[in-house]
């Protein structure tokens, strides 16, 4: 029943003279094909096992899915030259990816697009070199786990937005059915019904009639919606006093189908969407084009 | 890779991070289109936590201090830069929030009156009383605080996610010795001063596990400072319970003086 205490003491002493392992041992893989590495603990020195996981490796579906990473202390070294990074670098990268993921999720709730510069400023340790890697990992994770597509806008390169791919069941409400959403839909419908471009006065009139006082909501429409890339503003040249036109922003085109907006407008007018003539045709054409893609 | 149902549930939790066990059962039913058994709900939480690990998020649960029901919250497991710099509150609102937290943890009842919260706006710059009311509504809507009958207290979400911050705000804050979870709404044993949740100590039939003293009732044992108050309160009610049996013997003899000496003891 001996615990061989003295031999353990001696072994610890000898180990303390050796430099501590810096590369993690490959412990195993999980069902998402993440590789888990561990630097063994030296409890007598107060060191705890250091765990980390490396990038997703998009292996083919023929790869057998392994179960939970084993906690056995294998003396296997990390395989493949890809993982010559030290354990510390892996930990830092993981942490950066987590920060980016969280940042996107938080900004998504506010519906503001994320600029590349914001990410660079916010996440400690991120540089131009690893930005693409970090974004790519975050993108894969957000799609695999939440069903969000990380979309970069073409107009202004470096603007990112999360688009929801998941259809929520009806009795699981999760949209913010607030006033600002209603006003957004109303504005987008108005623009659509005016064949893509409408003067600001008509929008204020419409909102007023429906009970939304323009003074209260002007900032929302001209500032917030534009910032969120839902609508675009154009100043009408040679107008005095300067008036603006609204058009659909890039985010609106991606997030909402014309059919959705038409259905909304149809409800307001009490007319079935099919009776909207050319607009219905437009919406239908867009649907078919999307399906073809 | 999350299943469609798991993605739906995660998206719901992003929108409403705090759910009761009953809510979670309803969510399960909505996503999987059938009632889930108790084990399945636990498995769901476990699998979601595995999915959330790389993002340093997690779903934790604990009992609510008010009604002893189990609540689940999607919280941040680290103090991320992202969370620090993208607060949903303005600096003035955040100052009010911190004040409310401090008042709640330092109070005996684990709550602060909503009127006091709004009046606190006079000490905070750039915060009018209307702003304070709006801020309070924001805190309630984002599930950090609860309000009941004018008293504002912490939700399970705040207890789980803000624990390090709360411990910093008040050093005396302890965990309940019975369930070892943070105790903000607490009662203290008058002999040894150990803090417990009301439900926890009730389950142990009012026997303090540290000093083995059996409490007579929850009300008496609130705090030493409230002892005198509760003593006078219990005097008016106790004569009818504990002293009547004694009085029965002497009642016939004492007769009229019985009535006069009622409240003098």
A-chain CB neighbours of B1 within 8 Å are 31-32, 144-145
User: Distance (Å) from the C-alpha of residue A128 to the closest C-alpha of chain B?
Assistant: 19
Do A32 and A66 belong together in one domain? yes
Do A153 and A276 belong together in one domain? no
User: Which residues on chain B place their C-beta less than 8 Å from a C-beta of chain A?
Assistant: 1-2, 4, 6-8, 10-12, 14-16, 27, 30-31, 33, 50-52, 54-57, 76, 78, 80-83, 85-86, 88
CB contact burial B128-165 (16+ within 10 A = b; e otherwise): eeebbeebbebbeebbbbbbeeebbbbbbbbbbbbeee
pLDDT computed for residue B18 by the predictor = 94
Q: What is the pLDDT of residues B13-34, one digit of tens each?
A: 998 899 999 999 999 999 999 9
pLDDT computed for residue A165 by the predictor = 81
pLDDT computed for residue B57 by the predictor = 94
Nearest residue in B to A164, CA atom:
B11
| B190 vs B19, higher pLDDT | B19
Look up the CATH number of the domain holding residue A47: 1.10.10.1200
Q: What are phi and psi of A185, to 5 degrees?
A: -60, -40
User: Distance (Å) from the C-alpha of residue A24 to the closest C-alpha of chain B?
Assistant: 18
Do A14 and A158 belong together in one domain? yes
CB contact (8 A) between residue A145 and residue B10: yes
Do A12 and A83 belong together in one domain? yes
Do A142 and A287 belong together in one domain? no
pLDDT confidence tier of residue B158, bands split at 50, 70 and 90: very high
User: Distance (Å) from the C-alpha of residue B56 to the closest C-alpha of chain A?
Assistant: 6
CB contact burial A235-273 (16+ within 10 A = b; e otherwise): eeeeeeeeebbbebbbbbeebbebbebbebbbeeeeeeb
DSSP character at residue A61? T
Q: What are phi and psi of A112, to 5 degrees?
A: -95, 135
Q: What is the pLDDT of residues B39-98, one digit of tens each?
A: 999 999 999 999 999 999 999 999 998 888 999 999 999 888 888 877 788 888 999 999
Do A176 and A91 belong together in one domain? no
Which of A31, A102, A164 comes nearest B56 by C-beta? A102
pLDDT computed for residue A167 by the predictor = 79
DSSP B164-214: HHHHHH-TT--B-TTT-SB-SS-EE-TTT--EE-HHHHHHTTTB-TTT-PB
Give me the residues paired with residue B57 across strands.
B76
- The residues of chain A scoring below 70 in pLDDT are 1-2, 30-34, 44-45, 53-85, 154-157, 173-178, 293
For residue B100, pLDDT over 90 is answered with yes
Look up the CATH number of the domain holding residue A192: 1.10.10.1210
CB contact (8 A) between residue B55 and residue A141: yes
Residue A267 sits in which domain range?
Answer: 169-292
Average pLDDT, chain B: 81
Do A20 and A148 belong together in one domain? yes
**Counted domains in chain A:** 2
Do A272 and A183 belong together in one domain? yes
Smallest Cα–Cα separation from A104: which of A120, A119, A87? A119
Do A200 and A250 belong together in one domain? yes
Enumerate residues 6+ apart whose C-beta is below 8 A from A54: A34, A35, A37, A83, A85, A90
B-chain CB neighbours of A56 within 8 Å are none
When scoring A56, A57, A95, A106 by the number of chain B Cβ atoms within 10 A, the one with the most, hence best to mutate, is A106
Pick the last residue of a domain from A149, A164, A179: A164
Do A231 and A112 belong together in one domain? no
User: Distance (Å) from the C-alpha of residue B72 to the closest C-alpha of chain A?
Assistant: 17
| ipTM of the complex, rounded to two decimals | 0.76
Pick the last residue of a domain from A133, A164, A195: A164
A-chain CB neighbours of B143 within 8 Å are none
Pick the last residue of a domain from A143, A164, A185: A164
pLDDT confidence tier of residue B219, bands split at 50, 70 and 90: low
């Amino acid at each position: 029943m001996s615990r061989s205490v003295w031999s353990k003491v001696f072994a610890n002493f000898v180990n303390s003279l050796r430099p501590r392992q810096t590369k993690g041992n490959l412990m195993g893989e999980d069902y998402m094909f993440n590789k888990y590495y561990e630097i063994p603990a030296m409890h007598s020195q107060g060191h705890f096992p250091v765990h980390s996981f490396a990038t997703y490796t998009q292996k083919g579906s023929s790869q057998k899915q392994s179960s939970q990473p084993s906690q056995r202390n294998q003396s296997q070294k990390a395989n493949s030259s890809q993982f010559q990074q030290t354990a510390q670098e892996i930990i830092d990268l993981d942490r950066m990816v987590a920060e980016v993921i969280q940042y996107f999720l938080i900004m998504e709730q506010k519906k503001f697009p994320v600029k590349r510069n914001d990410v660079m400023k916010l996440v400690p340790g991120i540089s131009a070199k690893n930005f693409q890697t970090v974004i790519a990992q975050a993108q894969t994770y957000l799609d695999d786990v939440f069903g969000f597509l990380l979309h970069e806008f073409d107009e202004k390169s470096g603007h990112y937005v999360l688009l929801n791919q998941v259809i929520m069941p009806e009795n699981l409400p999760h949209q913010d059915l607030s006033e600002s959403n209603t006003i957004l839909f109303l504005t987008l419908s108005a623009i659509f019904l005016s064949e893509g471009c409408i003067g600001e006065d008509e929008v204020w009139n419409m909102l007023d009639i429906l009970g939304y006082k323009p003074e209260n909501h002007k900032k929302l429409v001209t500032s917030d919606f534009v910032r969120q890339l839902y609508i675009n503003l154009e100043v009408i040249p040679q107008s005095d006093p300067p008036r603006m036109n609204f058009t659909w922003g890039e985010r609106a085109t991606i997030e909402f189908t014309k059919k959705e907006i038409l259905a909304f407008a149809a409800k307001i007018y009490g007319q079935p969407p099919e009776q909207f003539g050319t607009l219905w045709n437009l919406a239908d054409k867009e649907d078919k084009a999307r399906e073809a893609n | 890779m999350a299943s469609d149902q798991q993605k739906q549930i995660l998206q719901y939790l992003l929108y409403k991070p705090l759910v009761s066990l009953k809510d979670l059962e309803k969510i399960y039913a909505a996503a999987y289109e059938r009632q889930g058994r108790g084990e399945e709900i636990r498995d769901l939480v476990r699998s979601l936590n595995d999915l959330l690990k790389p993002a340093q998020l997690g779903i934790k649960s604990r009992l609510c201090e008010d009604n002893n029901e189990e609540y689940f919250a999607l919280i941040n497991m680290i103090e991320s830069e992202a969370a620090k710099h993208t607060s949903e509150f303005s600096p003035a609102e955040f100052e009010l929030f911190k004040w409310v937290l401090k008042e709640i943890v330092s109070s005996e009842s684990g709550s602060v009156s909503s009127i006091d919260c709004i009046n606190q706006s006079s000490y905070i710059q750039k915060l009018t009383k209307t702003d304070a009311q709006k801020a309070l509504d924001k805190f309630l809507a984002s599930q950090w605080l609860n309000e009941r009958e004018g008293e504002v207290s912490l939700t399970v979400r705040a207890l789980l996610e803000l624990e390090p911050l709360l411990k910093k705000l008040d050093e005396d804050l302890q965990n309940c010795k019975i369930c070892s979870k943070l105790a903000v709404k607490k009662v203290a044993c008058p002999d040894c001063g150990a803090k417990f949740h009301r439900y926890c100590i009730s389950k142990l039939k009012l026997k303090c596990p540290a000093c083995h003293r059996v409490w007579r009732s929850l009300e008496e044992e609130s705090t030493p400072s409230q002892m005198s108050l509760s003593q006078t309160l219990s005097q008016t009610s106790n004569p009818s319970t504990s002293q009547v049996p004694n009085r029965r013997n002497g009642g016939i003899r004492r007769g009229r003086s019985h009535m006069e000496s009622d409240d003098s003891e």
